[in-house]
């Protein structure tokens, strides 16, 4: 059965992976200003913001998610995140326990590479000043590539012999090696297609294998760069340098510590804050707007007020938000996640026939190019399905591909 998507947080020690996880979830992964604060991988549930189908069908008033929430068509869908230990140069050879930490990433579907753009931590995560973080992007990727390549080359001789003896095709041979990363034959086929190799597998040179592994890493671990610590005064020049080198679609600017701080103040009743947004109100803001009670918010002392004002100036006004929620949306985008809404009743979108029934209770995230049949198996397991209906009651074939707005509202009719 296909698994739920898993987003892995990677980066060197002290780049802010755990802070990012905590800012996106209710987790309390340990944070520290020293390398290797995290050793064991931490899983937690974050919320991905998507456009809910309820808006399209005009039933937002009845939309009641079982998990997450939906406000006027903006839905938060749970998604699993994985915080792993920091990686250092040489990780693939075991430096800093790197090969164990890389192994923790096997099942990630996309990566958020948390880059410390303050320049205050070196490649090992130790405190410094004026470090150039643009190089982190390069070496960290190369550690991942060399880890995959090392695992493959260890057995390359016997892989080749079996490949020849069984007259296998390259996709099957490679898939049997890459299945440990949660790969599928389709993933392997796509990466071989992309490089368009002519030679048979048994004649591949080391460079060719490296090319294949590079393509596989691109396919299997699409990556978003979270340029973190934008609240730091040295961040600007480092951001411009990285922005020149990378595809703008793969970059998000963020300040994880600011998001953690704002969520905590909101929980404690000092501010009103829409998570991940630019909307922040203090008691005084609300009084200025004509609410004598200041929204019931608590008064902050001068020190706290100054911190909030600084954060507004340095992060919210300059960048529009703390950026962490966008990290997740961008990761979902590079992964091409499609939200699918399984319903019992294709007219009311609820579990029952009545027009007062709660609508769109469930939403699952599937990867791009998933078929209706894949979704059926994911949700229904091995239960036999006699036919599948889409919104309004049209029959939908199992081979159809699900897309946003197309075959994304489905009802599975059980029976032989
Ligand atoms: N200025 C600033 N500091 C941050 C930000 N995010 C994290 N930090 C600080 O960076 C340090 C490391 O944060 P962690 O979240 O523990 O980093 P990590 O990447 O999980 O580190 P390891 O678990 O050791 O690999 C801590 O002192 C954090 O407070 C940020 O957005 N801005
Ligand atoms: Mg950590």
Query: What are the tens digits of pLDDT across the range 322-359?
Result: 999 999 999 999 999 999 999 999 999 987 666 678 99
Contact yes or no for 77/1 (Cβ under 8 A)? no
3-state secondary structure of 231: coil
Question: Does 328 reside within a domain?
Answer: no
Query: What are the tens digits of pLDDT across the range 220-237?
Result: 999 999 999 999 999 999
Q: Which of 8, 9, 19 to mutate to test the pocket of ligand 1 (most atoms within 8 A of CB)?
A: 19
Q: What is the mean pLDDT of the chain?
A: 93
Contact yes or no for 4/365 (Cβ under 8 A)? yes
Contact yes or no for 5/109 (Cβ under 8 A)? yes
Q: How far is the CA of 52 from the centre of ligand 1 (A)?
A: 33
pLDDT bin (cut points 50, 70, 90) of residue 1 is: very low
Domain that holds residue 343: 336-414
Atom 12, ligand 1: which residue's CA is nearest? 14
Query: What are the tens digits of pLDDT across the range 293-329?
Result: 999 999 999 999 999 999 999 999 999 999 999 999 9
Query: What are the tens digits of pLDDT across the range 358-396?
Result: 999 999 999 888 999 999 999 999 899 999 999 989 999
Question: Does 78 reside within a domain?
Answer: no
The token pair that represents 166 in the structure block? 């069984």
Output b/e per residue, 217-238; b: 16+ Cβ within 10 A.
Answer: bebbbbbbbbbbbbbbebbeeb
Question: Whole-angstrom Cα distance, residue 175 to residue 191?
Answer: 11
The token pair that represents 396 in the structure block? 């939908």
Q: Which of 11, 14, 314 to mutate to test the pocket of ligand 1 (most atoms within 8 A of CB)?
A: 14
Q: Is 303 found in the same domain as 278?
A: yes
Q: Is 170 found in the same domain as 23?
A: yes
Nearest ligand, measured from the Cα of 13: 1
Q: Is 292 found in the same domain as 231?
A: no
Query: What are the tens digits of pLDDT across the range 5-40?
Result: 999 999 999 999 999 999 998 777 888 888 888 788
Question: Does 1 reside within a domain?
Answer: no
Q: How far is the CA of 233 from the centre of ligand 2 (A)?
A: 23
Percent of the chain's residues with pLDDT above 90: 82
Question: Does 227 reside within a domain?
Answer: yes
Q: How far is the CA of 177 from the centre of ligand 2 (A)?
A: 30
Q: Mean per-residue pLDDT for 111-124?
A: 97
Contact yes or no for 258/322 (Cβ under 8 A)? yes
- Which pLDDT score, from 0 to 100, does residue 362 have? 94
For residue 378, with 0-12 CB atoms within 10 Å meaning exposed, 13-18 middle and 19 or more buried, which class applies? middle
Q: Which of 10, 11, 16 to mutate to test the pocket of ligand 1 (most atoms within 8 A of CB)?
A: 16
Q: Domain total for the chain? A: 3
Q: Is 109 found in the same domain as 27?
A: yes
Q: Is 231 found in the same domain as 298?
A: no
Question: Does 47 reside within a domain?
Answer: no
């Amino acid at each position: 059965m296909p698994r739920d998507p898993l987003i892995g947080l990677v980066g060197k020690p002290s780049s802010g992976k755990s802070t990012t996880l905590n800012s996106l979830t209710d987790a309390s992964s340990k944070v520290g200003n020293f390398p290797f604060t995290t050793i064991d991988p931490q899983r937690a549930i974050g919320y991905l913001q998507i456009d809910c189908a309820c808006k399209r069908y005009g039933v937002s008033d009845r939309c009641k998610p079982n998990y997450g929430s939906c406000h006027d068509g903006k839905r938060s869908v749970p998604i699993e995140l994985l915080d792993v230990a920091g990686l250092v140069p040489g990780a693939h050879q075991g430096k800093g326990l790197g090969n164990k930490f890389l192994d923790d990433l096997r099942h990630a579907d996309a990566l958020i590479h948390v880059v410390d753009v303050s320049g205050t931590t070196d490649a090992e995560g130790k405190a410094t000043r004026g470090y150039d973080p643009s190089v982190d992007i390069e070496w960290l990727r190369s550690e991942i590539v060399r880890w995959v390549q090392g695992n493959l080359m260890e057995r390359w001789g016997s892989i080749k012999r079996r490949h020849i003896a069984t007259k296998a095709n390259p996709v099957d041979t490679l898939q049997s090696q890459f299945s440990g990363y949660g790969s599928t034959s389709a993933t392997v086929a796509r990466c071989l297609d992309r490089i368009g190799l002519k030679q048979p597998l048994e004649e591949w040179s080391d460079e060719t294998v490296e090319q294949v592994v590079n393509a596989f890493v691109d396919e299997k671990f699409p990556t978003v760069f979270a340029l973190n610590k934008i609240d730091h005064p040295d961040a600007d020049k480092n951001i411009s340098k990285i922005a020149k080198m990378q595809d703008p679609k793969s970059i998000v600017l963020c300040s994880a510590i600011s998001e953690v701080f704002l969520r905590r103040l909101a929980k404690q009743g000092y501010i009103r804050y829409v998570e991940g947004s630019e909307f922040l109100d203090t008691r005084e803001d609300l009084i200025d707007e004509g609410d004598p009670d200041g929204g019931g918010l608590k008064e902050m002392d001068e020190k706290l007020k100054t911190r909030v004002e600084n954060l507004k100036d340095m992060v919210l006004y300059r960048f529009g938000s703390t950026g962490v929620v966008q990290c997740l949306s961008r990761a979902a985008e590079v992964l091409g996640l499609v939200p699918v809404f399984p319903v019992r009743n294709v007219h009311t979108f609820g579990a029952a026939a009545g027009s007062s029934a709660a609508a769109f209770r469930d939403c699952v995230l599937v990867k791009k190019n998933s078929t209706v049949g894949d979704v059926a198996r994911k949700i229904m397991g091995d239960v036999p399905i006699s036919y599948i209906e889409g919104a309004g009651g049209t029959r939908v074939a199992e081979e159809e591909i699900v897309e946003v707005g197309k075959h994304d509202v489905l009802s599975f009719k059980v029976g032989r």
